[in-house]
Amino acid sequence: MADIPPTTPDEAPDPGSEGAVRPKLVAAKEQWARDGRALTGHAADPARDRLPPGQRLVEDWPVLDLGVTPGVTERSWGLTVDGLVENPLRWRWDDLLAQPQERFVSDIHCVTTWSRYDNAWEGVGARHLLALARPKPDARFVVFHSSDGYTTNVALADFDADDVLLATRWEGRPISREHGGPVRVVLPRLYFWKSAKWVKRIELLAEDRPGYWEVRGYHNHADPWTEERYSD
């Protein structure tokens, strides 16, 4: 089994979290990356083909995590937006609800090969958040920090898209705790591990910083249409 890098204090699960990281699960997914599991060698055109290569449709919403379920509630939730921004943000739940709320319908594509169509999301648009935080000219990357100790990275250009949300509701209901509630990121154009659950900090950087799965063999960008499942 591959070694799991130790967590730093910032990456440790929040107090009140239930469970612990499951080493066997992590090792299995690292093995998938080494084996190239589910790779078809094909690309698809999202303008023509709705289902990316190697994916299968499901009607439920599978629960995937590291084994840790944070005890975050609407009362205890908080978000920090910092790093290379002119106006750092510190939001509590009421601050989030005071922002303009947006609604999008989008598909989910998980690297574990399932896809789910037509998910109705509600929340605060990433572009609205960035307009308030005002990224500095040298900001080019984003790292999401989650309450379970998880991190994942994306290019600022991918976060600054018109269909990206800090989502609070799914199918007309608050997002459940097991699916990342009260607030999770939704980036529908990338594999779903980039859509961090239980988000508590959004950090803008000049240089890229790979996250939890990215240092364990998973692709840094994660485009489903070109099968960016794993690192080269």
Distance CA 167, CA 50 (A): 23
Buried/exposed code over 34-66 (b: 16+ C-beta within 10 A; e: otherwise)? eeebbeeeeebeeeeeeebbbbeeeeebeebbb
| Tens-digit pLDDT profile for residues 25-68 | 999 999 999 999 999 999 999 999 999 999 999 999 999 889 88
Which residue type is seen at 217?
A: G
Domain assignment present for 1 = no
Q: Are 123 and 165 in contact (CB under 8 A)?
A: yes
The answer to whether the CB of 128 falls within 8 A of the CB of 161 is no
Would you give the end-to-end CA distance of the chain in angstroms?
20
How many domains does the chain fold into? 1
Kindly report which listed range (53-57, 64-68, 73-77, 216-220) carries the lowest average pLDDT score: 64-68
**C-alpha span between 181 and 76 (Å, rounded):** 12
Structural domain containing residue 70: 9-226
DSSP code, position 215: G
**CATH value at residue 221:** 3.90.420.10
Q: Is 160 part of any domain? A: yes
**Is 184 within the bounds of a domain?**
yes
Report yes or no on 145 lying in a domain. Answer: yes
**pLDDT tens-digit series, residues 139-176:** 999 999 999 999 999 999 999 999 999 999 999 999 99
Which residues make beta-bridge pairs with 93? none
User: Is residue 78 included in any domain, yes or no?
Assistant: yes
Assigned domain for 232 exists: no
